């Protein structure tokens, strides 16, 4: 007979798989669990808690270990040292939470209404902030909901082992979501499905209950390579593999150093994250608008002039980004990113003035400000008015045609 042991504050638990009793050592409570019925309940509770999908998978990610190692060996993680530090533990959920046998994988839509993708990208004097980060920080929200899901299950089955994870924790979320049937791994490496595209966050509840598992979805990318060819910095180096060091999301959010000069122009007006590989995806047309008002765009960050954001002093930056993921990059990195966008903007006297006003604050910032000032002077000398790169113009056309509601 299959069985496994669990420890609990009540003492010793012995639990049999599917529909067998749990015997609690001291309390001697005996209860029988119908795992199939429990799974259906969990999926309903998950939806009540605001998740659009809930899937279940086992913890075997062995086939991903070699790929993860290859990615790390190639140095694609850049300066995200934690990724190398956690090593293969990221592919072994049971090492993170002993006795874990299943992962409940969830997804939550974040696409805000009136996303205004093309509208912002085509105005180089405005700041483009990726749409997942224009509202409240998702980490806390999703972790709390997962915790509530765990508590709901606990109410039904009694004490059991569980732990919620969202994003920052060392776990391979995408392979787990794929296994749990939430979607397939696109060539941009994100999880997407035919109902919603990829505009959703992932989260997981590691559990020690042997629930029945879901079936993965079939990959529907086919011959499409739109995300690979449209990435402004060529960061998608192979199908499904991103070299983070070239990705605008990494450069603007995770990396606090000097951004390589050859990549600065390609960043355009994207001052925090990037959505391009998702915008060109044919499945993004099916993106559902989020039900969470917390993810709606905040006025003080949405389609703002670069000069307005650059003039925020540190106290204003901290106040205006309270509760937002953006706060974590800090004021200097915020200014560095805006300085690059200003270097990419058309010649503008106000831009030159504010750039100069922020010199001598920080050594790394100065390098970017001086670069931006030089670019501004060059544009003045050449009388360059049309500064939008041809690939951005193409992207804007694709979005206006393919995603009219969100354009």
226 belongs to the binding site for ligand SF4 (CB under 6 A): yes
Separation between Cα atoms, residue 103 and residue 173, nearest integer Å: 10
Separation between Cα atoms, residue 266 and residue 341, nearest integer Å: 10
H-run or E-run covering 22: strand 21-24
Q: What angle do CA 57, 63, 67 make, to 5 degrees?
A: 120
108 belongs to the binding site for ligand SF4 (CB under 6 A): no
CB 336 within 8 A of CB 307: no
403 belongs to the binding site for ligand SF4 (CB under 6 A): no
Closest by Cα among 351, 335, 360 to 387: 351
Q: What three-state secondary structure class fits 27?
A: coil
Query: What number of residues does the chain have?
Result: 407
- 291, exposed or middle or buried, with CB in 10 Å at 0-12, 13-18, 19+? exposed
Separation between Cα atoms, residue 285 and residue 278, nearest integer Å: 10
Determine phi and psi for 5, rounding to 5 degrees. Answer: -105, 145
Segment lying near ligand B12 (by CB under 6 A), choices 43-51, 92-100, 239-247, 386-394: 239-247
Segment lying near ligand B12 (by CB under 6 A), choices 194-202, 342-350, 374-382, 389-397: 194-202
Contact pattern for ligand SF4 over residues 129 through 168, marking x by CB under 6 A: ----------------------------------------
145 belongs to the binding site for ligand B12 (CB under 6 A): no
Segment lying near ligand B12 (by CB under 6 A), choices 243-251, 287-295, 322-330, 390-398: 243-251
Segment lying near ligand SF4 (by CB under 6 A), choices 81-89, 120-128, 270-278, 388-396: 270-278
The active-site residue, picked from 167, 294, 305, 350, is 167
Residues within window 75-104 making contact with ligand SF4, judged by CB under 6 A:
none
Contact pattern for ligand B12 over residues 251 through 290, marking x by CB under 6 A: ---x------------------xxx-x-------------
Q: Which residues are 53's β-sheet partners?
A: 107
Footprint of ligand B12 (CB under 6 A): 64, 67-68, 71, 80, 130, 132, 166-167, 171-175, 185, 188-191, 198, 200-202, 239-242, 244, 247, 249-250, 254, 273-275, 277
């Amino acid at each position: 007979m299959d069985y496994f042991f669990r420890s609990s504050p009540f003492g010793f638990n012995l639990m049999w798989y599917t529909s067998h009793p749990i015997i609690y050592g001291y309390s001697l409570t005996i209860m029988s669990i119908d795992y199939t019925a429990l799974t259906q309940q969990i999926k309903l509770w998950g939806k009540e808690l605001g998740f659009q999908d809930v899937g279940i998978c086992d913890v075997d990610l062995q086939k991903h270990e070699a790929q993860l190692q290859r990615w790390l060996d190639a140095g694609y993680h850049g300066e995200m040292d934690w990724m190398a530090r956690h090593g293969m533990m990221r592919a072994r959920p049971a090492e993170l939470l002993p006795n874990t046998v299943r992962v409940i994988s969830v997804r939550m839509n974040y696409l805000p209404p009136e996303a205004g993708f093309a509208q912002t990208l085509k105005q180089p004097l405005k700041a483009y902030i990726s749409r997942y980060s224009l509202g409240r920080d998702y980490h806390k929200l999703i972790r709390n909901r997962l915790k509530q899901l765990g508590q709901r299950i606990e109410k039904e089955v009694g004490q059991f082992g569980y732990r919620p994870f969202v994003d920052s924790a060392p776990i391979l979320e995408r392979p787990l979501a794929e296994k749990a049937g939430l979607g397939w791994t696109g060539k941009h490496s994100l999880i997407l499905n035919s109902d919603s595209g990829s505009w959703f966050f992932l989260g997981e509840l590691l559990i020690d209950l042997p629930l029945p598992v879901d079936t993965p979805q079939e990959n529907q990318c086919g011959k499409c390579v739109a995300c690979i060819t449209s990435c402004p910095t060529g960061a998608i180096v192979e199908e499904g593999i991103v070299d983070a060091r070239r990705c605008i999301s990494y450069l603007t959010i995770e990396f606090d150093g000097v951004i390589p000069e050859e990549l600065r122009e390609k960043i355009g007006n994207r001052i925090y994250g990037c959505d391009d590989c998702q915008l060109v995806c044919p499945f993004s047309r099916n993106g559902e608008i989020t039900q969470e008002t917390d993810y709606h765009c905040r006025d003080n960050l949405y389609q703002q002039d670069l000069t307005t954001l650059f003039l925020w002093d540190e106290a204003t930056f901290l106040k205006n980004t309270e509760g937002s993921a953006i706060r974590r990059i800090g004021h200097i990195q915020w200014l560095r990113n805006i300085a690059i966008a200003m270097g990419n903007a058309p010649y503008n006297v106000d831009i030159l003035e504010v750039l100069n006003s922020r010199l001598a604050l920080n050594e790394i910032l100065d390098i970017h400000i001086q670069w931006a000032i030089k670019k501004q002077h060059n544009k003045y000398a050449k009388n360059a008015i049309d500064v939008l790169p041809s690939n951005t113009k193409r992207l804007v056309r694709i979005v206006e045609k393919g995603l009219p509601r969100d354009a």
